[in-house]
Chain A
């Protein structure tokens, strides 16, 4: 990964402290972004095999980037904004993340490890193992100090609670505003916009809606919904809001919950898919578009329109495409030159990616040199909140994801739980926006009609 020429414009230059060494960074960008841009590809060691790990998803949906930050263990460095002087430490590595003696465990168990049966029945081995296993287990060390006092939790009441400020959520917000329905939108990121700002957009993607046109304070950023609970007063969304004053827990009671949390970048199983230098497509587009960081030479694997949209985006950033491998095909005529149908991808490299190989249609193994492998597959719908609210979730065999079952307007099996966007399976930005608008319209009609 390298910084694009316009990096200077993207925030103040600061330094972070990584195990005693200083690392250059731009203030406010995710710490993991600063580290990979500075050539630090190994951020952690994995829990069981001590495999080298670098950031993968940039979405808080894997665990590859967890580090100890200012004395707090297991922090998602892909989400924490860089601040001058921040102290970063790699975890679960001995003596260091670069040379970790426990890496040997990885070689002892070439296929995987059944810890249930390992040494069971061998009297001494079993007891030694129990002691060793306990010492090896766990990730970070206990925090250095107590947490600061938190702000008092608050109760908020609103007609509609919207989760997710991506294409679907923002379109819904605009529709609700136009209809005069009071709402609050909660977005985990620092800015609303979702893939409008961070994705590899399709050619027909609509423009980012203007959030300044929304009612004041109706959009809360850095606000993470953590569960859809209920109590004596009814259903409520638990939201943790991060502000300069600290963290605050909200209980948001609403008549309707319009859930548009999008999806998580999934792991795609292939050989060495966890090697540092393998990034989700979401990570690649986010780093390039928002933070001006991109690989010099990338190999892309994946399927669907998202694969080609990412290829075009990376090319536009000056990244050389070593390969664009479509795992499902067929390769559309509009695909960038050199795109091929292929299978069985494998990442290669010692400590970090140096090449990708795949099987071509003729059955030949092709290997290309690259410094990053980008995995562009559709998102895994974030069905958790709708499910907690009682919506039905089904496995979509064609897309190979679990998705929320909803009608065209976004109604689910639970009367007060509505959904829109990728949470129902994934589609284009335009489709997500249209779904958000439809759901908001139907829901407003229902509220106006007094139905509940």
Chain B
């Protein structure tokens, strides 16, 4: 069949690019995500200019708006075994990070038309939480909503995460929310007309120390109480699930077959499309710059495209939430922490579950496209909005991964990137009203699991906002808890 290939690694045609443009994806980063061009083995070397030329020719984008997508390291596919050879001083905090192209969004990408003059609800942040909330508000009849996003959809943590979804948590609240979310994810394609490729291959946790093993055992019992079929595994049973897994130093392992992975980007697009269909404005490349306040209320949200008068404002700005809240004089306890992640060359399916070592925060899974996607926390990572990539991370990760699956040593890393966790003192979210600024609502602090919690939390929040009925979620996780010392500790955070 005759075709004009633009990206021959991922079989993306000229028609595919035009289809993306017709769907409203006009900047290079978005076209890349929608079509998959540039995400294959050549990492964009042979296709990027051709795509830009096509966008220029079709007048899909202004010439100054044609910016290359961030060139992710490594420049050429590089074996995990080679990256693992770099010694890392674990007593020193990570410093630096590669220049991140899209951390500043060029004004030329900003739409020229002004934003709506007023709206009942203004949501700041077009990540998964902001979009899912807007969508759920529309389901409840509230369509006078504007979502403001400073970049393209997927610019924040929601476009940078590992797509892991699991019910194995350490608190009842999180277990229940995750259960509901995964149920909604299973229906997402039918409800929203877009595939998110939920694959329930399970999560296999392991613990290397006694203390962590006890935590796993305790939590497994809690899962069962909530009807989640988590099982404690013997190491042999774990190896049956993941052939070749060494389980080095493992003391215990748990497995819930209903956990899984999802492809993050279409999840955002699905919500955004449904919002737009309902008449909700989703404004990309639009930055909130301040607030107009009087009498303990926010009156207007100021943006670089004009001001919007509103009744309610929701801070759903992920790791940027403290920065946004500060514009209104509100101090949030959240801190952004860089979290790095990588993806390898695509392999035929061999790995069922997402595997995680709870002690080190190592996690890895195989995406629907066949890539190994994984990350690992760095306990010494300092606070800050840093999304730069480091060699330190790939080296630590490569070592930890090949220790568990030695046959991956020859597997090549295709790209690494980073996002920010939105970390709170008790690893639990900040939800509900703001003391002293009653019409500012908080929807942040989801650390490393906001993606999977979004469907369920936003459903509850929309119901709470529109019905006026109380919901303990928004009291339990309110900002007040930090003053009152009622922390809600979650001990199953990874990464």
> Which positions in A face B, CB cutoff 8 Å?
46-49, 51, 53, 56-57, 60-64, 66, 72-74, 76, 106-107, 110-121, 123, 126, 129-130, 133-135, 137-148, 150-153, 188, 224-232, 238, 240, 247-249, 251, 264-274, 346, 380, 382-385, 387-390, 393, 395, 397, 400-402, 414
Contacts and interface: CB of A to CB of B under 8 A. Distances in A.
Interface in B184-212: 189-190, 192-195, 197-199
Nearest to B84: A150
Contact of B347 (A46, A119, A126, A138): A138
Residue of B42, B46, B101 most packed against chain A (CB within 10 A): B46
B225 interface: no
Given A49-B11, A380-B46, A248 B189 contact: no
B349 A134 contact: yes
Contacts of B3: 49, 51, 106, 110-112, 271-272, 274
Contacts of A152: 85, 87
Interface stretch (B75-83, B113-121, B296-304, B330-338): B75-83
B330 to A, nearest CB: 34
B68 A139 contact: no
Nearest to B4: A269
Contacts of B47: 266-267
Nearest to A91: B348
B82 A247 contact: yes
Given A226-B73, A249-B83, A249-B86, A73 B391 contact: no
B77 A74 contact: yes
B190 A121 contact: yes
B24 to A, nearest CB: 13
A114 B81 CA distance: 35
B349 A114 contact: no
A145 B405 CA distance: 10
The interface centre, meaning the residue of A114, A267, A402 with most chain B CB atoms within 10 A of its CB, is A267
Given A120-B194, A227-B98, A402-B52, A137 B406 contact: no
A400 B49 contact: yes
Contacts of A135: 349
Given A137-B348, A269-B4, A400-B56, 8 more contacts: A106-B1, A110-B1, A141-B347, A150-B84, A266-B50, A267-B7, A388-B71, A400-B52
B41 A138 contact: no
B346 A150 contact: no
B34 interface: yes
Contacts of B52: 395, 400, 402
B218 to A, nearest CB: 34
Contacts of B294: none
Contacts of A48: 10-11
B434 interface: no
Contact of A226 (B78, B85, B101): B78
B46 A61 contact: yes
Nearest to B13: A112
9 closest residue pairs by CB, A with B: A138-B370, A147-B409, A227-B73, A147-B81, A384-B71, A226-B74, A48-B11, A112-B16, A61-B45
A387 to B, nearest CB: 5
Contacts of A73: 345, 347, 410-411
Contacts of A148: 81
Contacts of B66: 395, 402
Contacts of A129: 195
Contact of A229 (B96, B192, B412): B96
Contact of B42 (A63, A72, A147, A414): A63
A63 B40 contact: yes
Contacts of B391: 227, 229, 231, 238, 251
Contact of A140 (B6, B79, B199, B345): B345
B140 interface: no
A116 B8 contact: no
From B1, B75, B370, residue with most partner A Cβ within 10 Å: B75
B446 to A, nearest CB: 25
Nearest to A104: B1
Contact of A388 (B73, B193, B269, B392): B73
B390 A113 contact: no
Given A116-B195, A271-B3, A387-B68, A57 B46 contact: yes
B60 interface: no
Contacts of A64: 8
Contact of B409 (A113, A137, A143): A143
Contact of B346 (A47, A76, A117): A47
A114 B70 CA distance: 24
A400 B58 CA distance: 13
Interface in B135-160: none
Contacts of B409: 143, 146-147
A111 B6 CA distance: 12
Contacts of B78: 226, 240
Contacts of B48: 380, 402
B328 interface: no
A107 B3 CA distance: 10
B101 to A, nearest CB: 7
Contacts of B177: none
15 contacts: A48-B10, A74-B41, A74-B412, A111-B13, A113-B16, A116-B266, A137-B368, A139-B346, A140-B348, A142-B408, A227-B73, A251-B391, A267-B50, A271-B2, A383-B71
Contacts of B346: 47, 74, 137-140
Nearest to A188: B76
Given A113-B16, A230-B98, A231-B390, A269 B50 contact: yes
A447 to B, nearest CB: 23
B63 A397 contact: yes
B79 A247 contact: yes
Contacts of A271: 2-4
A130 B199 contact: yes
Contact of B410 (A62, A116, A147): A147
Nearest to B36: A115
A138 B195 contact: no
Interface string B17-33: 00100000000000000
A212 B436 CA distance: 75
B97 interface: yes
A47 B56 contact: no
A289 B362 CA distance: 48
Interface string B51-75: 0111010000001001110110111
B288 interface: no
B465 interface: no
Nearest to A70: B410
Contact of B86 (A120, A130, A147, A251): A251
B45 A264 contact: yes
B54 A269 contact: yes
A50 B150 CA distance: 39
B85 A228 contact: no
B277 interface: no
A111 B98 CA distance: 38
Given A57-B46, A150-B85, A143 B410 contact: yes
A397 B407 contact: no
A385 B98 CA distance: 10
Contact of A248 (B15, B34, B85, B349): B85
Nearest to B198: A130
Nearest to A381: B49
Contacts of B63: 395, 397
Contacts of A390: 99
A390 B99 CA distance: 6
Given A269-B14, A270-B4, A380 B49 contact: yes
Given A56-B8, A227-B73, A395-B66, A130 B197 contact: yes
Contacts of A56: 8, 46
B174 interface: no
A139 B95 contact: no
Contacts of A380: 45-46, 48-49
B326 interface: no
B402 interface: yes
